[in-house]
Amino acid sequence: MIPAAFDYARPTTVDEALAAIVEGGEDAKVLAGGQSLIPVMRLRLAAPSLVVDLSKVAELRGVRDDGDAIVVGAMTTHSDVLADPLIAQHAPLVAEATATVADRQVRHRGTFGGALAHADPAGDLPAVALALDAEFVVAGPGGRRTVPAREFFVDYLTTALGEQDLLVEVRLPKLAGQWGMHYEKFHRVAQAWAIVGVAAAVRRENGHIAEARIGLTNMGPTPLRATAAEQALAGAAADAGAIAEAAGHAAEGTQPSDDLNAQADYREHLARVLTRRAVTAAAGI
Ligand SMILES: Cc1cc2nc3c(=O)[nH]c(=O)nc-3n(C[C@H](O)[C@H](O)[C@H](O)COP(=O)(O)OP(=O)(O)OC[C@H]3O[C@@H](n4cnc5c(N)ncnc54)[C@H](O)[C@@H]3O)c2cc1C
């Protein structure tokens, strides 16, 4: 399929990009790696009048250390995230989940910011961002603002980004203490989207689990935190029995869909099993 005709802008700065978006009006669309946008344009499910290509905006690329946080530029590709030593050191959960995204070709083009702005509930990175309490730096006509992950994902494929907003970078707060992390993904075949995924970060203290953060992929229209399981884990013994008991709460408060890949009750079962595995691995047991 061939997309409908569109105008094209290729800015080199964030300010130029914002000006182009404003000029393009409500039909303008930002292009990052194109791995999700181009297919929907080819199917004519989206027909923007203007495409604003961010590929030449160098300030949107790269990972840097900002003291209390690691900052990932929106246009940093999945491949670059995977190769980054700061991510490996401070946010291994991001690297682990990114390694499961599609195949090398998609990871070479697709971007960290694009995957989060697209907000597909089956995408692996939104649940990770939620588990790490990431902060989203958004630039718009009114200036810049920071949106916490819990407020960023609003509904199915819908975020707190306005029509004239640009996701600039994502801040991943550094975690103090003895944290372990793990991403568990259940998919039909390697390189496929998650049927369910679980992102776990666990802090251990004196043989106990002091704190657990659990993000769920594809258990509702947005990524979710498994709050009941998190509460059950806080202060629990770091052993198999306590983790299994807490993981039994993982599907509480979720709204998984029924589709060709799985029925809702099967997804709930997967959430419990994958939470047990992810927390066990993150706790180093
Ligand atoms: C075959 C295939 C398999 C895949 N499998 C997986 C998978 O297993 N797991 C997974 O998580 N993902 C998967 N993906 C998606 C992949 O992660 C994409 O990289 C991602 O969804 C979109 O990133 P992108 O950079 O290509 O964004 P684009 O496709 O360029 O943009 C996506 C959307 O986000 C908006 N957008 C992009 N950047 C910004 C920004 N900076 N500010 C505001 N809005 C922005 C665009 O306007 C568009 O609406 C797969 C994709 C393909 C093609």
Same-domain pairing of 147 and 49: no
Decide whether any atom of ligand 1 lies within 6 Å of the 118 Cβ: yes
Q: How far apart, in Å, are the Cα atoms of 51 and each of 23, 157, 165, 276?
A: 11, 19, 14, 43
Residue pointed to by tokens 């160098």: 58
CA 168 – CA 267 distance, rounded (Å): 33
The pTM assigned to this predicted structure is 0.97
Note whether 122 and 199 are same-domain residues.
no
Same domain? 69 vs 158: yes
Q: Which domain holds residue 146?
A: 62-173
Residue 34 near ligand 1, beta carbon < 6 Å: yes
Ligand 1 atom closest to the CA of 138, numbered from 1:
42
Q: What are 130-149's pLDDT values in tens digits?
A: 999 999 999 998 999 999 99
Ligand 1 site-directed mutation target among 38, 57, 106, most atoms within 8 Å of CB: 106
The ligand 1 atom nearest the CA atom of 60 = 41
Does one domain contain both 114 and 165?
yes
% of residues, the chain, pLDDT over 90:
95
pLDDT tens-digit readout, 98-117: 999 999 999 999 999 999 99
**CATH code at 43?**
3.30.43.10
Q: In what order do the strands lie in the sheet with 69-73?
A: 63-65, 69-73, 166-173, 135-140, 143-148
At 113 the three-state DSSP class reads helix
Distance 216 CA to ligand 1 centre (A): 19
Structural domains counted in the chain:
3
Find all residues with CB under 8 Å of 231, minimum gap 6, and list them.
249
| CATH number of domain containing 214 | 3.30.390.50
**Nearest residue to 140 (alpha-carbon basis) of 2, 282, 15, 280:** 15
Span from the CA of 37 to the centroid of ligand 1 (angstroms) = 7
Cα dihedral sign, 78-122-186-105: negative
- Quick check: is 194 in a domain? yes
- Helix, strand, or coil (residue 282): helix
